[in-house]
Chains A and B, each alone.
Chain A
Amino acid sequence: MTCVLLGLSFAAQDLDRMQRLARERFGAEAGESVDAWRRMLGDAADLDDQEKLQRVNTFFNRRIAFEDDIVIWQQKDYWATPLETLGRKAGDCEDFSIAKYMSLRALGIPAEKLRLIYVRASIGAPGSGISQAHMVLGYYPSPADEPLVLDNLIGDIRTASRRPDLFPIFSFNAGGLWVGGSTSSSADPTTRLSRWRDVLDRMRTEGLP
């Protein structure tokens, strides 16, 4: 716990910077959003994992409106950083998942327990056969456990078995990307070629660890 507190106090400077950036780029309202997000992180710091999940999930599901990338960013597929998501107050499923993932990482939950999961989501009535590509964040209390699913489509967190509408395809996290603690890969031009590494890199420049 002390570790987390230490981590947070250390991160305070970077978060100040993030708040300033948000105000500069997206206006005063965005600054307040980031401020609210910081307050939420501060409140949740001392809670247990389950409650942290709950706080983070609720924060983003309530505050951020779902919108397609083409509407927000005028691009077909754009992975936004939490700052951008908070700034626009809108995002699609990837943006929700990334923002939640980063928030939980900031609250000290290890990367091994978190997975960004591509899922096939059945929409409409059960058995209607209509489905769409979707992304959720999974939390694994232990490696062998069933994950808890943080989804922007529904408000509460459920275990995977209680989500028959979702079918997992592939999962990933930031583990193994920056082995050896290399400080920044922004000098490496190959970073920009991968969406995931690109967004990780941008978040880092915006002040997230």
Chain B
Amino acid sequence: MSLIKQLWIAIAVVTLIALGGSLVVSTLSARHYLEQQLQVKNLDNATSLALSLSQMPKDPVTVELQIAAQFDAGHYRLIRLTSPTGDVVAEREYAGSLDGAPEWFTRLVPIKAHAGVAQVQDGWHQFGTLTLESHKRYAYAALWQGTLQLLGWFVLGGALTGLIGTLIIKHITRPLGRVVEQAEAIGGRRFVTTPEPSTMEFRSVVRAMNTLSERVRTILAEESRRLEQLRRQTQHDEMTGLLNRSQFLNQLDSALARDDAHAAGTLLIARVGDLTGLNQRIGRAQTDRLLHDLAGQFSDFAAGRANWQVGRINGSDFALLAPGEENAPELTAALAKQLHDGLDAHLQDVTVALPVAATAYAAGEARSQVLARADGALAAAEQAGDRGVRVDGGGKAAAPYPDLQSWRAALLSALERDGVRLGAYPVVANDGRLLHEEAPIRLLLDGVWQPAGYFMPRVARLGLMPRFDMAVVHAALHAISGDGRERGINVSAESLCDANFRGELFALLQADAAAAKRLWIEVPEYGALRHLAEFRTLCVALQPLGCRVGIEHVGAHFGELGDLHELGLDYVKIDSAVIRGIDANAGNQAFLRGLCMIVHSLGLMAIAEGVESESETRALPDLGIDGMTGPAVRTPSAA
């Protein structure tokens, strides 16, 4: 039972005892008073009637009349005159029933007043004994009315006490609500801090919890910093600070394997011509500075876009990977102009050759294919001169729809006509148990169920992501209700920012609590990072519903997720760029081990994405990975 309820019951009991007790006492003392008054009246009236009878002639008519007159004019239950021998001489008795008070009340609180007794004298002789009893009806009525009135006041007083008591309890326990909230948040792995309340006891509890949260935050920040340092050492080019070749290629692989709005994109390469000659002409230090500046321009260019990657893939080659950027010519022109202008401003007297080439890529292409196209375009750019710029249109088939409007019509009609289907890629725990099935969207376009990478970039460009994500939620909940298997779905950054989407999602999950408990919802790292406030709102809202919430494609920017300890997540999926070739990459192994340690210390599960080979599968559990998914991962046969 809650503390508030217990306090309220205590107040109610105390009020009841106090008011009930005074009601009883008041009624009893009123009864005592009435009894006294009745008794005095009985005695006095008996005496005065006996006195006047003693003075009267004692013929029966006179005696009878005297008694009748007294009885009829007064309020008596009984007047009786008995002779000294015990015979009744005259008697008047009220036979009517008692009203004015309910019978149970007269039984419960009886009024006992003794009859008045007096002697009647006839000269020296005894004439008789007079017994007189007043009627108690009026006394009962008065007592009953008084009790009722008192009861009314007490009910009123009780209600008032209850009301005031409730207000006081609310006031006292207001800080308690926040304390409980924080405790529950910590229980749900959200290590939040709250302002200390003024109540002493609550304050020490909150202080202890704040200390805990603060310590978790400090440890996390410390570990994240160390991890980031490690990552820079192993994944970055020492001189320029850009990604090194192997890590950049891993990123390219990861980008090509993507199945979402950023599935298609552009790969751009710029080459510093004749680096050896340049070294001789302007000196090594100058050349290093030049390369450093170039790297800086690349970094600045990509800085605004969370999932864009820049790398130095050769001594002289710089590369930009721009997932989601499909307009390769425009991107290339913009970056080339910036780079060339920068070069000219930097070195007026020496001309440095810097051909720039780019190619667009589509979802599902092979890395070698894309790289070959980029190399070809770069060769053509070099042919075109020192500042040559070439863009390869991409190896993909001609676009099925000529422009965005026709895409829009096709997408919406497909969604309405056939709805969406979900893919099924198993995510398996180390012990072989199926954690859930990743369920990416499939849409029927031109008679083929196309994978997400085929159309999601257009959906994103058309601003339809919330609508398609919602369709996936519906389909996933339906599928879960059908077979009871757990499903994992993606929520895009665009949907995350859409308050309507969040509200609808919450209502849907609330309406289907059983299915919600089997749903895993994941948001890409760059989405969570860029819209942290919205992501936090979503996490806090979804946690009580029992569904799992996680971050996917976690990698380079993990260290920037500073508030991870306040989110109450359930799992992270680590990007394939980190996982690729992990069995042979000591640097990434160290990074992954550190990452898993942090993740575990917060109570989250670490899942590897894009596991491609048996050797990776074998190496991952030792690094702290709890589950994996990818081409090398099969659905457990037992299932």
Contact B124 A138 (CB under 8 A): yes
Complex: A190 Cα to B116 Cα, angstroms: 14
Nearest opposing residue in chain B for A119, CB measure: B124
Complex: A173 Cα to B85 Cα, angstroms: 17
Contact A188 B36 (CB under 8 A): yes
Is A117 among interface residues, defined by CB-CB distance under 8 A?
Answer: yes
Chief secondary structure at chain A's binding surface: mixed
Contact A176 B115 (CB under 8 A): yes
Residues of B contacting A143 in the complex (Cβ-Cβ under 8 angstroms): 83-85, 126
Is B117 among interface residues, defined by CB-CB distance under 8 A?
Answer: yes
Nearest opposing residue in chain B for A197, CB measure: B43
Residues of A contacting B173 in the complex (Cβ-Cβ under 8 angstroms): none
Residues of A contacting B116 in the complex (Cβ-Cβ under 8 angstroms): 176
Chain-B contact segment, one of A13-21, A44-52, A163-171? A163-171
Q: Which of A140, A143, A176, A190 has the most CB of B within 10 A?
A: A176
Q: Mark B28-43, 1 if CB is under 8 A from A, else 0.
A: 0000000010011001
Nearest opposing residue in chain A for B83, CB measure: A143
Chief secondary structure at chain B's binding surface: mixed
* CB-contacts of B104-137 with A (<8 A): 114-119, 121, 123-126, 129, 131
Complex: A169 Cα to B39 Cα, angstroms: 25
Partner of B43, one of A144, A147, A160, A194: A194
Contact A117 B84 (CB under 8 A): no
Residues of A contacting B83 in the complex (Cβ-Cβ under 8 angstroms): 143
Residues of B contacting A189 in the complex (Cβ-Cβ under 8 angstroms): 36
Complex: A172 Cα to B54 Cα, angstroms: 11
Complex: A188 Cα to B39 Cα, angstroms: 11
Is B213 among interface residues, defined by CB-CB distance under 8 A?
Answer: no
Is A180 among interface residues, defined by CB-CB distance under 8 A?
Answer: yes
Residues of B contacting A190 in the complex (Cβ-Cβ under 8 angstroms): 36, 39-40
Residues of B contacting A194 in the complex (Cβ-Cβ under 8 angstroms): 43
Is A155 among interface residues, defined by CB-CB distance under 8 A?
Answer: no
* Interface range for B: 20 to 34
Contact A170 B121 (CB under 8 A): yes
* CB-contacts of B192-212 with A (<8 A): none
Partner of A160, one of B115, B118, B124: B124
Nearest Cβ on chain A to B31's Cβ, whole angstroms = 14
Nearest Cβ on chain B to A113's Cβ, whole angstroms = 10
Contact A170 B54 (CB under 8 A): yes
Is A146 among interface residues, defined by CB-CB distance under 8 A?
Answer: yes
Contact B51 A140 (CB under 8 A): no
Residues of A contacting B46 in the complex (Cβ-Cβ under 8 angstroms): 176
Is B554 among interface residues, defined by CB-CB distance under 8 A?
Answer: no
Residues of A contacting B117 in the complex (Cβ-Cβ under 8 angstroms): 175-177, 179
Nearest Cβ on chain B to A146's Cβ, whole angstroms = 6
Complex: A172 Cα to B119 Cα, angstroms: 6
Nearest opposing residue in chain A for B128, CB measure: A143
Complex: A140 Cα to B84 Cα, angstroms: 11
Is B235 among interface residues, defined by CB-CB distance under 8 A?
Answer: no
Nearest Cβ on chain A to B123's Cβ, whole angstroms = 6
Is B263 among interface residues, defined by CB-CB distance under 8 A?
Answer: no
Query: Given contacts A144-B84, A144-B85, A190-B40, is CB(A172)–CB(B124) below 8 Å?
Result: no
Is B47 among interface residues, defined by CB-CB distance under 8 A?
Answer: yes
Q: Mark A105-125, 1 if CB is under 8 A from B, else 0.
A: 000000000010100000000
Residues of B contacting A117 in the complex (Cβ-Cβ under 8 angstroms): 121
Is B50 among interface residues, defined by CB-CB distance under 8 A?
Answer: yes
Complex: A146 Cα to B123 Cα, angstroms: 10
Residues of B contacting A176 in the complex (Cβ-Cβ under 8 angstroms): 46, 114-118, 129, 131
Is A154 among interface residues, defined by CB-CB distance under 8 A?
Answer: no
Complex: A147 Cα to B115 Cα, angstroms: 27
Complex: A160 Cα to B121 Cα, angstroms: 13
Residues of B contacting A115 in the complex (Cβ-Cβ under 8 angstroms): 119, 121, 126
Q: Which of A115, A143, A169, A194 has the most CB of B within 10 A?
A: A143
Complex: A115 Cα to B120 Cα, angstroms: 11
Contact A170 B124 (CB under 8 A): no
For the complex with contacts A144-B84, A170-B121, 13 further pairs of A-B residues with Cβ separation under 8 Å are A115-B126, A117-B121, A143-B84, A144-B85, A161-B124, A168-B123, A168-B124, A170-B50, A171-B54, A171-B121, A175-B117, A175-B129, A179-B115
Q: Give 3 nearest A-B pairs by CB, closest first.
A: A176-B117, A143-B84, A160-B124
